[in-house]
C-alpha cells in the first residue's frame, strides 16, 4: 500500500507502507548506524519520534527476542530506503514488518533517505507525519502543526515501569543471577531509575557484579534510599530534560548520599541537579560512530549516541568538571562532581557499537561504590 511522509515545512516523500496502517505524528530524526535497527526501534529514548535509518537496507536479519531494548517497539514511526521482507539469521524469530504490524508501528520504505537526511541536517529536526490514509499534502502539513514540539515535553512517564522489579540477567542470558550467588558474586546493590531504561544497561551492571532493582520514575529519593542501595543509576529516556523537573529534584535529594551514575537523559538530569541548564540540539546525535575525547587521558572513544538535548557548559558551577567532549560539535559528553560521588555521560557506554571503548565507566561506578562503603 502507498504511504507518504510529510514534514511541517511542506517537504514530502512518497513510498510504500510495510508496517501498520494509519497515521503517526512525531519529531523526524535520522540515525546513522549501519546496523542495530532492532535496538533502535525498541529504545524508549525514541518515544515520540519518526526515525530515519540512513543505512539503505533494513530488515535483512529479521528480528529476535534478545536484541529488544524494551518489551516492544517505542518509535512513533519508521522510515527506510529499502525494506527486506526476506531475512536470514539463525537468531531471527520473525520479519521486521511482522513486528511493526503486531505493535501498530507505521513504517514507510522506498524513501530517498539521503535527501531526507540532508534536509533535516540543514533545517533541523522537525515535526512530521507518516500516513497510509491521507494523500493531501496541505492537510497533512496542518496535522503536523498540531503536534507538540519536543521542547517542553516530559515523555518519561509514558515509558517508565509501573512498579519496582529486580533484574538478574547479564549479557549471558544462560547465566542468571541466582539468590544463592547474589551476595558473593554480585555484592553491589544498585537502584536504577527507569526513565526509559535500556535492557543492555541492566545487563552491563550485572556483568560488573551488581544486583539491580529497577524503580519507576516517580520514586522519591527517600523510597530509593530505603532500599539500601550501594549506588543509584539514572537512566536514559525520551523528551526534554528541562520538562522532567521532578526527576532532577529527586536527584538533588540523592546527591552526596550514595554514588550516582547517569547515562543520556540521566546525564542531562544530573546537569540540571548540579545547577546547570540544557538546550535543544539542531538535529541531535543519533548513531554509533560519534568520537568523544576523555579529557583526563586524551583518549578518543567511538560511541553510540541517541539524544536531542545537551548540557550548557556555561551554566555549570565551578564544582562540576567536564570529563568528556564531543569531537564533532564540542558539546559536553560527560560530567563529574569534584567533591560528591556522582558522574555521568551523554552517550551510551553499554552499547559497544563494534569497539567497547567506554565499558570502563561501569567499572568506575563499581569502584566508586566500593570506596564509599562504610
**Could you count the other beta carbons within 10 Å of the beta carbon of residue 115?**
11
Q: Say how many Å lie between the first and final Cα of the chain, rounded.
A: 64
Predicted pLDDT at 176: 60
**160 in the same domain as 135:** no
Predicted pLDDT at 281: 98
Along the 374 residues of the chain, how does pLDDT read in single tens digits? 899 999 999 999 999 999 999 999 999 999 999 989 999 999 999 999 999 999 999 999 999 988 999 999 999 999 999 999 999 999 999 999 999 999 999 999 999 999 999 999 999 999 999 999 999 999 999 999 999 999 999 999 999 999 999 998 888 766 666 555 565 678 999 999 999 999 999 999 999 999 999 999 999 999 999 999 999 999 999 999 999 999 999 999 999 999 999 999 999 999 999 999 999 999 999 999 999 999 999 999 999 999 999 999 999 999 999 999 999 999 999 999 999 999 999 999 998 776 788 999 999 999 999 999 87
Q: Is the CB of residue 227 less than 8 Å from the CB of residue 191?
A: yes
Residue 61: which CATH number?
Answer: 3.50.30.20
**134 in the same domain as 210:** no
Instruction: Give domain status of residue 352, yes or no.
Output: yes
**142 in the same domain as 160:** no
Instruction: Give domain status of residue 126, yes or no.
Output: yes
Instruction: Give domain status of residue 11, yes or no.
Output: yes
**140 in the same domain as 177:** no
Domain count, the chain: 2
**347 in the same domain as 296:** yes
User: Residue 304's closest CA among 342, 358, 344, 254?
Assistant: 358
**174 in the same domain as 118:** no
**238 in the same domain as 162:** yes
Predicted pLDDT at 70: 96
**139 in the same domain as 172:** no
Instruction: Give domain status of residue 151, yes or no.
Output: no
Predicted pLDDT at 180: 53
**174 in the same domain as 35:** no
Boundary of a domain, candidates 128, 146, 164: 146
**248 in the same domain as 120:** no
Residue 190: which CATH number?
Answer: 3.40.50.880
Boundary of a domain, candidates 121, 146, 171: 146
> Residue 131 corresponds to which cell in the numbers above?
500516513
pTM assigned to the model: 0.95
Instruction: Give domain status of residue 211, yes or no.
Output: yes
Boundary of a domain, candidates 95, 118, 146: 146
Instruction: Give domain status of residue 270, yes or no.
Output: yes
Domain extent for 192: 156-372
**200 in the same domain as 139:** no
**188 in the same domain as 139:** no
Instruction: Give domain status of residue 179, yes or no.
Output: yes
Predicted pLDDT at 184: 65
Predicted pLDDT at 168: 86
Annotated active-site positions, please? 264, 348, 350
Amino acid at each position: 500500500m502507498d504511504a507518504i511522509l510529510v514534514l511541517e515545512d511542506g517537504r514530502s516523500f512518497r513510498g510504500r507502507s510495510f508496517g501498520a496502517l494509519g497515521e503517526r505524528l512525531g519529531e523526524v530524526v535520522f540515525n546513522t548506524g549501519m546496523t542495530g535497527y532492532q535496538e533502535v526501534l525498541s529504545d524508549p529514548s525514541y518515544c515520540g519520534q519518526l526515525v530515519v535509518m540512513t543505512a539503505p537496507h533494513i530488515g535483512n536479519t529479521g528480528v529476535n527476542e534478545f536484541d529488544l531494548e524494551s518489551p516492544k517497539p517505542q518509535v512513533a514511526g519508521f522510515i527506510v530506503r529499502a525494506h527486506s521482507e526476506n531475512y536470514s539469521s539463525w537468531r531471527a524469530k520473525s520479519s521486521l514488518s511482522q513486528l511493526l504490524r503486531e505493535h501498530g508501528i507505521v513504517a514507510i520504505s522506498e524513501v530517498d533517505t539521503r535527501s531526507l537526511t540532508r534536509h533535516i541536517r540543514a533545517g533541523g529536526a522537525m515535526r512530521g507525519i507518516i500516513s497510509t490514509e491521507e494523500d493531501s499534502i496541505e492537510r497533512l502539513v496542518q496535522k503536523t502543526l498540531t503536534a507538540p514540539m519536543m521542547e517542553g515535553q516530559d515523555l518519561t512517564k509514558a515509558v517508565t515501569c509501573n512498579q519496582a522489579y529486580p533484574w538478574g540477567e547479564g549479557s549471558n542470558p544462560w547465566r542468571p543471577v541466582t539468590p544463592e550467588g547474589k551476595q558473593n558474586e554480585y555484592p553491589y546493590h544498585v537502584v536504577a531509575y527507569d526513565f526509559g531504561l535500556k535492557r543492555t544497561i541492566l545487563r552491563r551492571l550485572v556483568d560488573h557484579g551488581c544486583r539491580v532493582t529497577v524503580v519507576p520514575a516517580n520514586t522519591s529519593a527517600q523510597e530509593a534510599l530505603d532500599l539500601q542501595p550501594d549506588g543509584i543509576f539514572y537512566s536514559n529516556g525520551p523528551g526534554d530534560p528541562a520538562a522532567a523537573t521532578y526527576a532532577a529534584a529527586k536527584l538533588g535529594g540523592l546527591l552526596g548520599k550514595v554514588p550516582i551514575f547517569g547515562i543520556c537523559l540521566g546525564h542531562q538530569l544530573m546537569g540540571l541537579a548540579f545547577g546547570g541548564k540544557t538546550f535543544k540540539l539542531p538535529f541531535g546525535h543519533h548513531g554509533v560512530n560519534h568520537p568523544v575525547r576523555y579529557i583526563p587521558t586524551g583518549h578518543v572513544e567511538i560511541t553510540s549516541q541517541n539524544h536531542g538535548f545537551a548540557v550548557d557548559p556555561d551554566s555549570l558551577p565551578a564544582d562540576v568538571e567536564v570529563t568528556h567532549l564531543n569531537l564533532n560539535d564540542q558539546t559536553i559528553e560527560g560530567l563529574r562532581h569534584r567533591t560528591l560521588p556522582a558522574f555521568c555521560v551523554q552517550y551510551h557506554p553499554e552499547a559497544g557499537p563494534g569497539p567497547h571503548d567506554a565499558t570502563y565507566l561501569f567499572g568506575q561506578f563499581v569502584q566508586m561504590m566500593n570506596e564509599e562503603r562504610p
